[in-house]
Amino acid sequence: MGRTTEATMNHFDYIVATDFDRAWLNFELDLPLKPEKNGLPNPFYIDRPGNPIAELTDALLAPFYRPPKFFFSGHRGCGKSTELLHLLTNPKIQKKYWPINFSIREEADIIDIDFRDVLLAIGGRLFREYRKKGGQLPDQLLKELNNWKGKVEKEISTILEGRMSNIELGASIDAFFANAGLKMKLEPATRVELRQVVENDITGLIAIINHIATAIYSREHLIPLILIDDMDKPDVDRARKIFHDRREIMMQPNCAIVYTVSSALFYSKEFDSIRDQALFLPNINLHPPMEPDHHHEEGYATLRRFVHVRMDQKLLDDNALNQAITYSGGVFREMARIMRTAIGRARRRKGNCLNGEDVEWAATEIRNEYRRILDKEDLKLLKRVVETNRLEYNDRLTPLLQLLALLEYRNGENWCDVHPVLRKLLDD
């Protein structure tokens, strides 16, 4: 393929690699698997065994009195973002819903985020996306939105009286929503004032969201569906404050919403608040509990497809591929990480086929990263998990699951095991 060009950086063709340069690109860790322009699934998309996204799809298609809310989670790198994008290609979902998919990163500072930021992002994206796609909202609603905008700006001015601050949010309601989100994200001082105003009239903001959603439904005869990605990135304390402490408010918007949430919330006592609407995307089972050498062929076949749609089979040894799958622990992102690191070594040694030594080198690199951050107590807990494969509540368990030092699986009962690259470290 040669050197990466500007065109390559701005456009990605999903083609099978026939050389290591292209293969390196195809295993980009943060490559979003967006649907094709014709609405078909992405060529790199792999349907996992017993895909639990079907459960979310069925729940969205079931009858309801009020538009449903769901809390979608899974380990880092398990494919949550890809599954949400794939959900958009489902013809039945398209027939029932008017969908919006966006990352909260685009609208707020995920390091300092609270429920008010999320609600403002929902209202802003509903309005902006509908207008951007040519939708026309009723004049009465636009008048109401402008009145609300004026009220917000007036209250902010009152708060800022006597202080110098550039709080201009835009002359039009379009500019207001765009600039409010930007300022919430980039300007901590403005964030404080906007949150204070929103807090004083949270019912007003909810009403605005609901009026926009109702207008879209009346025009399109489709229920707005909002899929909010990257809501799993804030730490567990912020997740608790949003989805536990303010759960009732987050359920108020009159549109269907899928919130991604931190897997740490699933391992906390506060999980009870979202239990009824929670769905967890588990890792791919590669072996039964307590039998790491007994391979599940279906799981291995899934990850072979993950590799083969990205690179020609002639570029790698079959045994090396199986070893890479074992080391991945059934996590898509870890599989991509191992393959990319191994491909990098194969390129540097100017090889024409990725081999077992390349894979072992990649596993050692990952193991060395863990060696720097795991302490003696962590290692004790990991050894205990190897002996039992039990998933039990423990304060130290949550960070290890988030680090992927521990991986959760489900085949009937849920259970866990250590990241396969760590077995050598534990044996030492």
Question: At which residue do the structure tokens 């470290």 appear?
Answer: 425
C-alpha 108: how far from chain center: 15
Quote the radius of gyration of the chain (alpha carbons, Å): 24
Read off the pLDDT of residues 240-295 as tens digits, 9 standing for 90 and up: 889 888 889 999 999 999 999 887 777 777 677 777 888 888 899 999 999 999 99
Measure Cα distances from 14 to 23, 121, 289 in Å: 11, 31, 36
Shortest CA distance to 314 belongs to which of 362, 358, 352? 352
Tell me how far apart the terminal alpha carbons of the chain are, to the nearest angstrom. Answer: 42
Q: Which of 405, 385, 389, 378 is nearest to 287 (CA)?
A: 389
Picking from 84-93, 392-401, 415-424, which range would have the lowest pLDDT averaged per residue? 392-401
User: Which tokens in the block code for residue 131?
Assistant: 């207008």
Q: Mean pLDDT, to the nearest integer, of 135-141? A: 89
Amino acid 166: pLDDT: 47
Per-residue confidence (pLDDT) for residue 341, from 0 to 100? 97
Q: How far apart are CA 384 and CA 406, in angstroms?
A: 11
Highest averaged pLDDT of the listed ranges 82-91, 156-165, 187-196, 393-402: 82-91
Q: What percent of the chain has pLDDT over 70?
A: 91
Q: Which residues contact 152 (CB under 8 A, 6 or more apart)?
A: 169, 176, 194, 197, 198
Which two structure tokens, joined as six digits, stand for 66?
Answer: 């009020």
Residue 21's contacts (CB-CB under 8 Å, 6 or more residues apart) are 1, 2, 347
Residue 8: band (very low, low, confident or very high) from pLDDT cuts 50, 70, 90: very low
Contacts of residue 278, Cβ cutoff 8 Å, sequence gap at least 6: 70, 71, 72, 73, 261, 266, 271
Residues in CB range of 362: below 8 A, 6 or more apart = 324, 327, 337, 338, 339, 341, 342, 345
Of the pLDDT bands very low, low, confident and very high (cuts 50, 70, 90), residue 346 is very high
C-alpha span between 84 and 262 (Å, rounded): 15
* 8 A C-beta contact, residue 170 and residue 176: yes
Q: Which domains are delineated in the chain?
A: 6-28+284-427 (no CATH), 53-281 (3.40.50)
Q: What is the mean pLDDT of residues 177-187?
A: 71
| Burial class of residue 410 in the structure, from the number of CB atoms within 10 Å of its CB (0-12 exposed, 13-18 middle, 19+ buried) | middle
Distance, in Å, from the CA atom of 31 to the CA atom of 15, rounded to the nearest integer, reads: 13
pLDDT at 1 over 70: no
Range with lowest mean pLDDT among 94-103, 112-121, 274-283, 295-304: 274-283
What is the distance of C-alpha 131 from the center of its chain?
Answer: 26
pLDDT of residue 257: 96
Residue type, 175: A
- Phi-psi bin for 134: left (phi > 0), alpha (psi -120 to 50), beta? left
Provide mean pLDDT across the span 61-75.
91
Comparing CA positions, the residue from 90, 331, 28 lying closest to residue 227 is: 90
pLDDT band at 169 (very low <50, low <70, confident <90, very high): low
pLDDT in tens, 192-220: 778 888 778 888 899 999 999 999 999 99
Closest Cα to residue 405, out of 427, 386, 428?
386
